[in-house]
């Protein structure tokens, strides 16, 4: 089992077979498929994908060693996926190495697959707990008229209104910040252990929540693909940004 990263609000744990049923259920949601640009998989296909990651020789090593392997010419790096756990949703004592499926709220991915620049990383975040996500998107569509009408229309007819009333105070405030902390933890760990010099995020133009998050984190618009209707954002890791990242997750604990 690889490492887990514990922050103030979230814990990042490796994607385990126990997570697959919940993850598969998330990815049956048409909205999540749309904003993530994903294709639906069967449950068996999802188990096969998780198994392929778990059988990777690197998956049993610590994540630090996994990242450092990019310096090897023979290394073949594709991605690393962590499940995001909401610490407030964990039932009982936090047991590291356990899946804690009751606390699953999303995932965070990091890719380092540029053969010409091994210290260039692409990062993704998905907070997928459906009711919370839909409530956020509904309010965002109501407040920001630049959101595409098709997104507002979709959310209007699929919203769980009882949930919206419950979650509205959380949204009107600053939110729980789970996605923000998960991204910052992932970036800080990669910067400190490997020395990543640039992060990139590719986000569909309709995914306003993710665009807002990454721009607030300091990512700048780099390009826009008309074909894919997708923004590419980048953030160079300057000395000041490195210090800011490490300070922001100063209480992060690595468990192995």
Q: Do 60 and 2 meet the contact criterion of CB atoms below 8 Å apart?
A: yes
Nearest CA among 222, 49, 200 for reference residue 119 = 200
Distance CA 183, CA 120 (A): 16
Nearest CA among 17, 14, 19, 11 for reference residue 3 = 14
Can you list the domains of the chain with their CATH numbers? 4-251 (3.40.630.30)
List of residues 6+ apart from 46 with CB closer than 8 A? 20, 23, 24, 27
Q: Does position 152 have pLDDT exceeding 70, yes or no?
A: no
Residue 255 φ then ψ, to 5°? -110, 135
Q: Do 142 and 129 meet the contact criterion of CB atoms below 8 Å apart?
A: no
Q: Does position 3 have pLDDT exceeding 90, yes or no?
A: no
User: What percent of the chain lies above the pLDDT cut of 90?
Assistant: 50
pLDDT tens-place string over residues 199-246: 999 999 988 889 999 999 999 999 999 999 999 999 999 999 999 999
Helix orientation angle between 208-216 and 130-143, rounded to the nearest 10 degrees: 80
Percentages helix, strand, coil for the chain (3-state, rounded to 5) are 45, 20, 30
Number of alpha carbons in the 13 Å side-chain half-sphere of residue 165: 2
Nearest CA among 150, 123, 121 for reference residue 208 = 150
pLDDT tens-place string over residues 27-76: 998 888 888 888 999 999 999 988 876 665 444 333 444 444 444 433 44
**H helix count then E strand count, the chain:** 10, 9
What is the per-residue pLDDT for 175?
Answer: 53
Helix orientation angle between 130-143 and 149-158, rounded to the nearest 10 degrees: 130
Joined tokens for residue 75: 């290394």
* Higher-confidence position of 200 and 97: 200
Distance CA 220, CA 201 (A): 10
């Amino acid at each position: 089992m690889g490492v887990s990263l514990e922050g103030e609000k979230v814990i990042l744990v490796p994607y385990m077979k126990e997570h697959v049923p919940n993850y598969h259920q998330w990815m049956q949601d048409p909205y999540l498929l749309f904003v993530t640009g994903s294709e639906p998989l069967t449950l068996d296909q999802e188990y096969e994908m998780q198994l392929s990651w778990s059988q990777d020789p690197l998956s049993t090593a610590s994540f630090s060693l996994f990242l450092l392997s990019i310096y090897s010419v023979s290394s073949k790096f594709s991605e690393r996926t962590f499940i995001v756990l909401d610490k407030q949703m964990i039932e009982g004592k936090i047991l590291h190495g356990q899946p804690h499926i009751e606390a699953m709220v999303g995932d965070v991915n990091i890719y380092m697959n540029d053969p010409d620049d091994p210290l260039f990383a692409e990062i993704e975040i998905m907070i997928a707990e459906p009711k919370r996500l839909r409530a956020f998107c509904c309010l965002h569509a109501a407040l920001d008229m630049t959101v595409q009408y098709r997104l507002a229309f979709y959310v209007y007819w699929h919203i769980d209104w009882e949930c919206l009333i419950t979650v509205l105070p959380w949204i009107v405030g600053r939110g729980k910040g789970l996605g923000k902390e998960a991204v910052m933890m992932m970036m800080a760990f990669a910067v400190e252990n490997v020395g990543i010099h640039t992060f990139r995020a590719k986000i569909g133009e309709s995914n306003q929540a993710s665009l807002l998050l990454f721009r607030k984190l300091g990512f700048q618009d780099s390009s826009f693909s008309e074909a894919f209707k997708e923004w590419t954002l980048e953030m160079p890791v300057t000395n000041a940004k490195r210090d800011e990242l490490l300070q922001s997750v100063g209480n992060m604990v690595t468990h192995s």
